[in-house]
Amino acid sequence: MKKAMKKRKALSSVQIVLLGFLGLVLLGSFLLSLPISSANGMSVPYIDALFTATTSVCVTGLVTVPTAFTWSVFGQVVILLLIQIGGLGVVTVMAAFMIGLKKKMGIDDRILISDSFNLSSMDKIVSFVKKVLALTFTIEGIGALLYMTVFLPEFGLVGIWYGIFHSVSAFCNAGIDFIGTQSLCPYVLNPVINFTTIFLIISGGLGFVVWFDIFENIRHKNRRGIRFLTLHTKIVLWMTAVLVIGGGVIYFLLERNNPLTIGAYTFWEKVMASLFQSVTTRTAGFATVPQENLTDASAFFSILLMFIGGSPAGTAGGVKTVTVFVLLVTALAVIRSKRTVDVFQRQIVMEFTKKALAVFLFSFLVVLASTFLLLVVQGGNLTDVLFETVSATATVGLTRNLTGSLNVFGKSILILTMYLGRVGPISLAFAFSTNKCRENLVVNPTEDIIVG
């Protein structure tokens, strides 16, 4: 017993996250493969159960079988729990159980939680986890009530379950629904569904650290405003505003005359649909317009937004807004021959640039590899395949009607892609956090090379 405990403690943060997500996927796939999880009482093929468990835990949203017609209530509950745990993160849920059982956290547990949220201090870890849970359930509760105003009149009492499920799915940026086979397309002109979903997606995608920083400034009633927000919060808010508003404008311009998407709508309906598309492409996965009907320019732009994703320490996927921001400002500093990278009157140290580059390159290589392999085993249009693999890597869940037609090999590739897309960037973040205090004992001589 003692040896097992020592072995568990010997696991690194990276290993705990990798094994935690893997174990949850395998448990979920087992439960979903049981006859009780199926709507017709017959076991779903294991590859589809595994795919559904992976897309739920990795909060992706790609599905090989229709969620609305395939799963029983039990299966839907399993999917909901997998989404909630996957969105919050295995480490957060583990900590929540320890708090619930009133089990004292050791230094290893505190380090793990601190690493998972990239916190600079281990002080008030228990309080932080409690605030994460409180914020999550509060926002999800608000979203569920707003959804119910539409779903209750339409579906009766089952609308309560619809409201809860879709609120959790939206906040966790999962994008899984059981409205039908067209995602939220039937509600493209419904303002309540559109803006509730937008609110939930952005809330989950901002990151818990950003929310708490905003609340802290409000609580102290700081009259000097945004100046006292942390640099991280400023970057996240700035990037989110640019991507959401700028993305909405670009979609509006590209799709306004497309009769297959928003061309037939009024001006304000086009604005709403464009804004929704801008938000959902950043890891949410819900769709109010058929993605296969987008113009080629819009599809390419969607790929870019999906790859960027949401912000760190939240429920979103992608390489993250802060990663892209750091790489962009670093490139500009190099072009301008500046010795330091300065933004908002603060300097970004090289450690974070290295981390951003590692996360970006890892995700990019996963996209390249999965796209190539999927083209080999599945074939198909390059735009559709690239759209699919970026969606899987960035844990988005949007598709141009390719997921349902995948063969066993294609499904297997996307399962691995979703898993790597979810745990890869987190693992890299852990690796940098746990190694940041290590110093090189041997320094090699420098030598010039030619770049560019």
- Give me the percent of the chain exceeding a pLDDT of 70: 85
Residue 316 resides in a domain: yes
Mean pLDDT in residue range 255-270: 95
Contact 427, 18 (CB under 8 A): yes
Average pLDDT over residues 222-245: 83
Domain contains 443? no
Q: Are 147 and 163 in contact (CB under 8 A)?
A: yes
With contact defined as beta carbons under 8 Å apart, do 106 and 125 qualify? Answer: no
Q: Does residue 188 lie in a domain region?
A: yes
Q: How many CA atoms lie within 13 A of 143 on its CB side?
A: 28
Rounded CA gap, 156 and 38, in Å?
Answer: 23
Domains held by the chain: number: 1
Q: Mean pLDDT across the chain, nearest whole number? A: 87
Rounded to 10 deg, the angle between the 208-219 and 191-206 helix axes is 90
The model's pLDDT over 278-294, given as tens digits with 9 standing for 90+, comes to 999 988 889 999 999 99
Q: Give Cα separations from 267 to 22, 156, 175, 258, 289 (angstroms).
A: 46, 33, 26, 13, 16
30 is a domain residue: yes
Is this prediction's pTM over 0.75?
yes
pLDDT at 436 over 60: no
Residue 424's domain spans which residues? 10-432
Phi-psi category of residue 379: left, alpha or beta, with phi > 0 → left and psi -120 to 50 → alpha: left
Q: Which long-range contacts (CB under 8 A, 24 or more apart) does 374-380 make?
A: 374/410, 374/413, 374/414, 377/407, 377/409, 377/410, 377/413, 378/406, 378/407, 378/409, 378/410
Q: Hey, how many other C-beta atoms are within 10 angstroms of the C-beta on 377?
A: 15
* Tens-digit pLDDT profile for residues 402-426: 999 999 999 999 999 999 988 876 6
**Which pLDDT band holds residue 7 (cuts at 50, 70, 90)?**
very low
Within a 10 A sphere around the Cβ of 452, how many other Cβ atoms? 2
Q: What's the pLDDT band for 2 if we cut at 50, 70, 90? A: very low
| pLDDT for 194 | 96
**Confidence at residue 416, expressed as pLDDT on a 0 to 100 scale:** 94
Torsion, Cα of 306, 310, 313, 317 (10° steps): -20
| Domain annotation covers residue 437 | no
pLDDT of residue 440: 55
**Within-domain flag for 115:** yes
pLDDT tens digits along 237-248: 999 999 999 999
How confident is the model at residue 450, as a pLDDT?
Answer: 75
User: Is a pLDDT exceeding 80 seen at residue 5?
Assistant: no
In a domain, 201, yes or no: yes
Count of C-beta atoms within a 10 Å radius of residue 90:
22
Residue 5 lies in a domain: no
Average pLDDT of the segment spanning 242-267: 96
Please report, for residues 65, 260, 294, the alpha-carbon distance to residue 257 in angstroms, rounded to integers and kept in the order given: 33, 9, 11
Contact 178, 151 (CB under 8 A): no
